[in-house]
Structure 1
Amino acid sequence: MAPEVRTNVNLKPYRQALALPGLRPLLLVSVLARIPFTATSLALTFYVLLELERGYGAAGLVGAAMTVGAALGAPLLGRLVDRYGLRPVLALTTVAEAVFWSTAAVLPYPVLVGAAFLGGLLNLPLFSVIRQSIAAMAPPDQRRPAYALDSMSVELSFMIGPALAVALATSFSPHLTLYAVGAGIVGSGITLFLLNPPTRGSDEPTGPVGPPSRRAWLTPRLFGVLAVSTACTLVLGGTDVSVVAALRDGGEVRWTGLVLTVWAVASLVGGFAYGALTRPVPPWVLLAGLSLTTIPIGLGGGTWWLLCLALVPAGLLCAPTIAATADTVSRLAPVGARGEAMGLHGSAITVGVALGAPLAGAVIDHTVAGWGFAVTGLIGLLVALAVLPTELRRRRIAADHAAAERAAPEQTAGDDRKQSPTVGGPNGELVGTEH
C-alpha cells in the first residue's frame, strides 16, 4: 500500500489577517470598486476611436492626460487625507468623477483632453486609500498577507474590467460605455464613503495631525522602493504590449485573452504564496527576479502555448512585487504622512504603466516583439541593481547597530565585575570598594 502523501499549505497568516476587524469587507469592496477603474482606459479609447472617429494617437493623448493628472494628484490627495480625514476627500473626488463622466461624452475633443487631465488630478484615490487602510488595520507582522490579498484583488479586477469594457463598447456603444464606467466609479466612491475605513490604527493618533517634515521620511530607501514600484509596472506594461505583438506576428491573435489570463492566474498563485511566507523578501529582489524571467519570454515567439509557459515564471512574481512595495512603504512612512506616501506609491505605479506600454511599442516598431520583453525586463533589472547599494548600506548600518547593542551589555557586565560587593559602612550606608 502506497504511503499517503500530505501537502500542507500554511494558511495561518491569511486566517489571522482576515480575522482583523474590517479587513474582509474592505477587500470585498476593493475587488468590486476597482473593476470600473480598470475599464477607464479602454472605455475612453473606444469612444475616441469609434464615436469621435479619431486615430490611436488622439486616443492615447486623452489617456496620457488622465494618467499625468492622476500621477500628480495622488500624493496631493493623500496629503489631504492625512490632514483632513478620508470622507472630505472622498466627497470631493466622487463629485469630480460624477462631473467628468457625465459630461465626457458631449465634450469636443480638445476640451475632453483638458477635462481628462482634471479628472485624473481629482481621481478617486481608491487604490492608495485601500492600501493606507490596510496599514491602519493590520499590525506590521500581519501586513504581508493583507497586502498579498490586496494585490490578488487587483489581479481579479483587471481580469474583469477591461473585458467588460470591450464587451459593452462592441455590443452596445462606446457612448454608453462611458456612462456605465462613470456610474461604476461614482458608486465605488459612495460605497467607500459609507464604509469609511480607518486610515490610522487604533493605537495611532487620531484627528488633525500636523504632517511631519518630508525630510524625515522621504529617505533614499523610500525613493528606492518607489523606483522599484515604477520599474515593476513598467515591466508589466511592456509585457502586456509585447504579448499582443508576439501573437499578432505569429498569426495567433485570437489566443490573446487566454495567454493574458494564464499570466494573471500565475500572478494570483504567486501572490498567494508570497502572503504565506514566514520571512519577507525585499522588493528589489522580487523586481530582479521578475525582470530576469521577463527578458527571455520573447524566445517563445508567437506560438500561444509557448508564450503561456514562458509567462508563468514572471507571472508568479507580479503580485508579490507590488505587495512587497506597498508593505515596505507602509512601514517607512510615519502615520502623519502615510496617505501622502501611499499616494506617491500609487503615482509610481501609474507612471510605470504609462511608460512601459509605449516604450515596448517603440522598441517593437523598430525590431521584433521579443525585444519588447527584453528591453523592459533589462530596465527593471538595472533599477534593481541601482537600488542594491542603498539596501546594502542600510543592512550594514543595521548590523553595526545590532553589534553595538550586543557589546553594550557585555561592557556593562565587565564594569560591574570590576566592583566588589557592597558592604555596610560604619553608619549602615552602602559602600563600594574596588579590588
Structure 2
Amino acid sequence: MSSYTSLLKTRGVARIIAAQLTARFPFGMLSLAFLLHIEHTYDSYGVAGLVLAALSIGQAIAGPLTSRLMGVWGMRRVILLTMIICSFAISAIALLPLPIPAAMSVAFVAGLTMPPIQPAVRTIYPKMVNSKQLTPLFSLDASAQEIIWVLGPVITTFVSIQIGTVWGILLAVAFLVGGGIWFLTSPELGRVRIPRSKRKLGAVLKKPPVLLATIVGFLLVATCAAIEAGVVATFGEGGAQAGIVLAIFAIGSLVGGLSLGHKPIGPWALARRMAIVFVGTAVAAASLNIWWLAITLFIAGIGIAPALAVMFAIVSVSVRFSDTAEAYGWVGTGQLIGAAVGSALAGFLIDGVGAIGAFVVAAALALLGFLVPLLGKRFHPDLRGRDASPIPDTEPVQLTG
C-alpha cells in the first residue's frame, strides 16, 4: 500500500484520477440505466439489449478515431465537442418517446460521441510519474475505477426505482458534463501534447500485445455485461438486491486490484487473472440465490482490475508514445464491442430461458477470456524488472551553427 500512498502524493496524480473517474462515472450507470428504462418502456430485455448494442457499437467505431484526432486537434477540443453532442443524445433517449429504430439510432450517436477520457488519461500517465511508478499507477487506476462499478449500479438502481428511469439517465448526463468540465480544466491536459501519429489508422493492431489486450478486453467486458444483465433479470426492478450484488462484484475487483497491483507482470499474468474471473463466474451459474451470487461474483471480481492493469501495461510498453492514444482507443473498442455482445446475448437468452441463461453466457465468455491469453502467452511481454513506459518517438533533430 505504501507504493499507492507515494503515487497519490505525486503532483497532480490524485487530482487527475478523481477528475477522470468522475467524467467516466456514466460508464457505470448508462448500461443499467438504459436497460431499466428501455425494458420499462418496451417491456423487453431483447429490445434493451439492441439499444445497448447500438450505443456500444457507436463507441467502438469512435474509440480509435477520436483518440487519433486528439493528436491532430488536441485533447481539450476533441473532448469538449464530443461531450456536448453526447450529452444531448443521451438526454434525448430519456426525454423523447422514440420508436425502437430511432432509439437505436440516437444511442448509436451517443456512443459515437462518447468523450475519449480513458485514452487521454492513459496517455497522460507516463508523463506524470517515473518509470518505476507507472505499472503501480495503472493498477491503482484500474482499482479506483471500480468505484464507478460499485457506486454506479447502486445509484442508478436507487434513482431509477425510487424516482424514475428518466432521472437515472439524466443523472448520468450530469456526471458526464460535470466530470468532463473538471477533467478539461485539469492543468495536466495543457502540459501533455500527443504527437501526430505518422502511421496508418489501425497499424497498432499489428503489435501482438495490443491485439491480445483488445481481444481479452472484449471477452472480459462481455462477461461483465452478461453478468450485469443476469443479476438485474434475477432480482427485477422492485428492490435494491441487484444493485447490492453488482456492488459486491465490483468490490471484489477493487480488492483484487489493490492486492495484486504490486505483483510483477510475467508472461502468465493475464491468463492467471482471467482464470480467477472464469472460476467465479462458472460457479455463480449454479444458483440464483442472492448470497451465492454475492460470494461467487466477489471471487470473479478479484481478477477483473488486475487483468485490466496488465492489459494497460502491455499496451504501453509495446507502442510509441504518439500511438498510445489510438492503441488504448482500440482496446476500448474491444471492450465496448464486448459490452454490446454480452448485453445482447444475455438479453435474448433471458427472454428465452430466464435469468440463468445470462450466467451461462457469462461463464462461456469467461472461459474464452482465459484460453486466449493462455494460448497467446508468447505474445505477452515479460515486464518483470522492465520499464512499462511507451517507446519514445524519435525525430530528426536540426542542428544550427
Question: TM-score band, normalised by the shorter chain?
Answer: 0.7 to 0.9
- What runs of 5+ residues in structure 2 fail to find an aligned partner? 385-401
The equivalent residue for 1:186 is 177
Q: In 1, are the aligned partners of 2:143 and 2:257 still within 8 Å (CA)?
A: yes
- Correspondence 1:240 to 2:228: yes
Q: Which moved more, 1:264-273 or 1:238-247?
A: 238-247
What is the CA-CA distance between 1:262 and the residue it aligns to? 2.5
Partner SS for 2:120: helix
Amino acid at match of 1:227: I
2:309 counterpart letter in structure 1: A
**Which of 339, 342, 358 in structure 2 is aligned with 1:353?**
339
- Further displaced range: 166-175 or 181-190: 166-175
TM-score, normalised with respect to structure 1: 0.76
One-letter code aligned to 1:287:
M
Number of corresponding residues? 378
Distance in 2 between residues matched to 1:181 and 1:200, nearest whole Å: 29
Q: Does 1:219 align with 2:207?
A: yes
Can you list the C-alpha shifts for 1:351-404, whole angstroms capped at 9, x where unaligned?
Answer: 2222223334555666676664455334433344344444336779x9xxxxxx
Q: Please point out which of 362, 375, 388 is paired with 1:376.
A: 362
* Equivalent AA in structure 1 for residue 254 of structure 2: L
1-side partners of 2:359 and 2:106: how far apart? 34
| Residue in structure 2 matched with residue 303 of structure 1 by the alignment | 289
Q: How does 1:334-353 map to 2 (within 5 A)?
A: 334-353=320-339
Q: How far is the alpha carbon of 1:70 from its aligned partner?
A: 0.7
The answer to whether the 8 Å contact 1:284/1:388 transfers is: yes
Distance 1:246 1:211 in 2: 50
Distance 1:297 1:111, change over 3 A: closer
Indicate which of 15, 20, 23 corresponds to 2:13: 23
Shift of the alpha carbon at 1:89? 0.6
* Structure 1, unaligned runs of 5 or more: 1-10, 399-435
Alignment correspondent of 1:261: 247
Corresponding position: 1:288 with 2:275 = yes
Native 8 Å contact 2:216 2:372 kept in 1: no
Which of 27, 49, 52 is equivalent to 1:63? 52
1:169 counterpart = 2:156: no
- Give, in whole Å, the separation in 1 of the partners of 2:27 and 2:366: 26
Q: Secondary structure at the match of 1:124?
A: coil
2:270 is equivalent to residue 322 of structure 1: no
Partner of 1:12: 2
Q: Percent identity?
A: 26
The question of whether the paired residues in 1 share the 8 Å contact of 2:204 and 2:323 is answered with no
2:112 to 118, 121, 138: 121
Deviations 1:19-50 (A, max 9, x none): 33211101112333232342223433444455
2:253–2:302 Cα contact (<8 Å) kept: yes
Preserved contact between residue 98 and residue 186 of structure 1 (Cα < 8 Å): yes
For residues 395 and 115 of structure 1, the distance between their equivalents in structure 2, rounded to whole angstroms, comes to: 40
- What is the identity, as a one-letter code, of the residue corresponding to 1:67? S
Task: Determine the C-alpha separation between the residues in 1 that align with 2:117 and 2:81.
Answer: 13
Q: Tell me, in whole angstroms, the C-alpha distance in 2 between the residues paired with 1:129 and 1:392.
A: 29
CA distance in 1, matches of 2:176, 2:358: 33
- Secondary structure (helix, strand or coil) at the match of 1:320 reads helix
In 1, are the aligned partners of 2:57 and 2:108 still within 8 Å (CA)?
A: yes
8 Å contact from structure 1 (residues 74, 347) kept in 2? yes
Distance 2:354 2:168 in 1: 34
Counterparts of 1:323 and 1:394, CA distance in 2:
13
Specify which structure has the bigger relative contact order, considering alpha-carbon pairs within 8 angstroms and separated by 6 or more residues. Answer: 2
Q: State the superposition RMSD in angstroms.
A: 3.2
Deviations 1:330-368 (A, max 9, x none): 222211111111111111111222222333455566667
For 1:65, give the aligned amino acid. A
Output the CA distance in 2 between the equivalents of 1:46 and 1:371.
19
2:259 is matched with: 273
Instruction: Flag the 1:321–1:60 CA change in 2: closer, same or farther, 3 A.
Output: same
